Structure 1
Amino acid sequence: MRQKSTESAAPPIAKAGSIPTQGNDIELLQARAQASPGDANNWATLGDALFAKGRFDEAIVALEKGSVAAPDRADIWSALGEARVMASPRDPMPSAALTAFRKALTIDPKDPRSRYFTAVARDLRGEHQGAIDDWLALLKDTPPGATWENDLRRTITQVAKINKIDVTEKLAALAPTSNHPAMPSGLIGGAAIPGPSAEQIRAAAALTPSQQDSMAQQMVSQLEGKLRANPGNLDGWVMLMRSRKTLGEEAKASRALADAIAANPAAAARLQSEAAALGIAKL
């Protein structure tokens, strides 16, 4: 889920899928960038195309060159940070990625992607309340009608639930107030994934803690059965990763990521991005 916008006049990096990503097309983008090494747009477009193909190490090289060509482009620094996250085999938030996100924020303090991932970093460090506060601030700046607002709310709710932090009133009182750049749908882990139904929530509230745990495990098992029957359900895989994370089953969450990629290699970039946003390490 990747953010490609900035408040500067410089054009944003194109969203994945909006530019050609076939091998020959990438070669053309590489040739164009190499022919005009001072043109940050060319490096940014190449980096995005490589990211979309899951070629994260190469995307890093392109985006680093873009950051040299235009060191004041927050969107390029932010994209570089995410590419460094995706290229890391185990660490969900490498220090080099965090450095890039922080650099982006010095240029544009409202950069949504960098704000989101720096909050992820706080959560990974155990600063759960701080991370939630940062996400709430980001939610406050969410553009009216942004398609990812509900997904950000769900992220806040899930992290709060895991860490027993009450955010009910703050979420209920919070409404978008500013027309800041929006993140595309891929940035928030679990985007467009339905949560439990109202009936399931009411039923769970009437159970003892041990019964609630049993119910959760049953629902996860049912989800795994559905994924065995339909392994192409990407939203289902992200829901499984999120569920394992919520249950504190880190190894199983990583296994779910590996299984999801094995079943859907063409969607590896999206799955890894979703996992990184949830703080799930690769096997």
Structure 2
Amino acid sequence: MAREIGTDTGKGSNRAGWILLGAAALLAAASVAYNLAGAGGAADEPRAEGSAADAGPTIDDLRAAAEASPGDADAWAALAAALFAREDYAEAAEAYQNATRIDDETAILFSALGEALLYAEDASAADADPMPEPALAAFRRAVELDPTDPRARYFLGVKKDLDGDHEGAIADWLALLSDTPPDAPWERNLIQTIRQVGQIHDIDTDRRLAAAMEGRMPPVMGGAPAGAASVRGPSEEEVAAAGGLPPSEQRAMAEGMVAQLEARLEGEPDNLDGWAMLMRSRMTLGEPAKAKAALASAIEANPGEADELRRQAQMLGIE
């Protein structure tokens, strides 16, 4: 899960203390999907023990699928995400590189690649680069494709902090916070980062934090039918419970819950919040083609809401 902020090294925030937004976002997708799929009473029913482990393919399955379809970016991205969750960062980076060679227009693939490259670097080595150039290039490519990509924006702020531009880093993180949906799973750690870097370098952040958080909108579509009340981010207890699973099971749990959401939408095709969350979840899982397919299905089921659905998709980087 998210890594706590460490102490400053004099050059910037200690890399070992940086926050991983990606894992939190993955669990957000899982939690949202579960809450939607469980609307109407099922959310309160206990899941069978071991169901998370049975909900999705193994890494061997994902690797076989990618090797069987070497031109499928989604297959490589799914394998990469599973490897990253297992903390096999070097292999995850290799799989993400395969995905970006096939699909060089999807920002989330490049920001995920940058994160994998960053953590693949041996931080214990005396000459370790806290922000390797290939990782930095991937983050920059991500924001070229999608200036709103939160992971790339966060780590580009880290780069400024490492370079001694602490004010610039805080400004970038505050801008990211302004665009962060309330109760997003990474919100608390992002705020903690801003405060701690500010304290270390004697930069006042309290008023700026309050201003950044004022007037933000939740990540759901207004006017949605029944089921909207169940759309929320994960509670601290849910995140903690998910974080206790082995990494491979976290991925499997997320995939299983998103599949539940997709199945529920077959019976509730007018649930606009559900479609928005399905698209978001597919992008979070590194499956842009499936996210695009979800958009097409949503528009087919709700032609009168096509413009709003496309707007939501564009915000998520779905083309």
State the TM-score bracket (shorter-chain normalisation).
0.5 to 0.7
Aligned runs of 1:84-233 on 2, under 5 Å? 84-90=117-123, 91-175=129-213, 177-178=216-217
Matched, 1:58 2:91: yes
Name the CA distance, whole Å, in 2 between partners of 1:108 and 1:4: 20
Deviations 1:211-255 (A, max 9, x none): xxxxxxxxxxxxxxxxxxxxxxxx9xxxxxxxxxxxxxxxxxxxx
Looking at structure 2, the residues matched to 113 and 125 of structure 1 have their Cα atoms a distance apart, in angstroms, of 19
Identity percentage of aligned residues: 44
**Structure 1 unmatched runs, 5+:** 7-11, 186-191, 193-234, 236-263, 268-283
8 A Cα contact 1:26 1:46, kept in partner = yes
1:116 shift after superposition: 0.4
Aligned counterparts of 1:155 and 1:174: Cα–Cα separation in 2: 14
**Is residue 75 from structure 1 mapped to residue 94 from structure 2 by the alignment?**
no
- Match 1:48 to one of 81, 84, 92: 81
8 Å contact kept, 2:28–2:184: no
Assess, with a 3 A threshold, how the Cα gap between structure 1 residues 110 and 54 changes in structure 2: closer, same or farther.
Answer: same
Deviations 1:127-179 (A, max 9, x none): 10000000000011111332332221111000000001111211122225355
Counting only pairs closer than 5 Å after superposition, residues 256-271 of structure 1 correspond to structure 2 as none
- Could you report, residue by residue, the CA deviation over 1:64-90 in whole angstroms, capped at 9, with x for unpaired residues? 000011111111101100000110013
Distance 1:120 1:138 in 2: 12
Distance 1:130 1:155, change over 3 A: same
State the AA in 2 paired with 1:177. R
CA contact (8 A) 1:81 1:101 kept: yes
Q: Which residue of 2 aligns with 1:3?
A: 22
Q: Which runs of 5+ in 2 are unaligned?
A: 1-19, 34-51, 124-128, 221-232, 237-242, 248-319
In the alignment, is the contact (CA less than 8 A) between 1:110 and 1:180 conserved in 2? no
Q: CA deviation at 1:56?
A: 1.2
CA distance in 2, matches of 1:15, 1:103: 24
Look up the match of 1:189.
Answer: none
CA contact (8 A) 1:64 1:80 kept: yes
CA gap 1:61/1:20 in 2 versus in 1, 3 angstroms? farther
3-state DSSP of counterpart to 2:198: helix
8 Å CA contact 2:23, 2:85 repeated in 1: no
Q: Deviations over 1:3-46 (max 9, x none)?
A: 3899xxxxx9997999979xx92222111111111111100000
- Decide whether aligned partners of structure 1 residues 167 and 2 sit closer, same or farther in structure 2, where only a CA change above 3 A counts: closer
Tell me whether 1:38 sits opposite 2:71 in the alignment.
Answer: yes
Q: 1:14–1:85: structure 2 CA closer, same or farther, 3 Å change rule?
A: farther
- Calculate the TM-score normalised by the size of structure 1: 0.56
Q: Which stretches of structure 1, 4 residues or more, deviate above 4 A after TM superposition?
A: 12-21, 178-181
Secondary structure at 2:66 match in 1 = helix
1:190-221 Cα shifts (integer Å, max 9, x gaps): xx7xxxxxxxxxxxxxxxxxxxxxxxxxxxxx
Matching residue of 1:217: none
Highest RCO, 1 vs 2 (Cα 8 Å, sep ≥ 6): 2
CA contact (8 A) 2:83 2:91 kept: yes
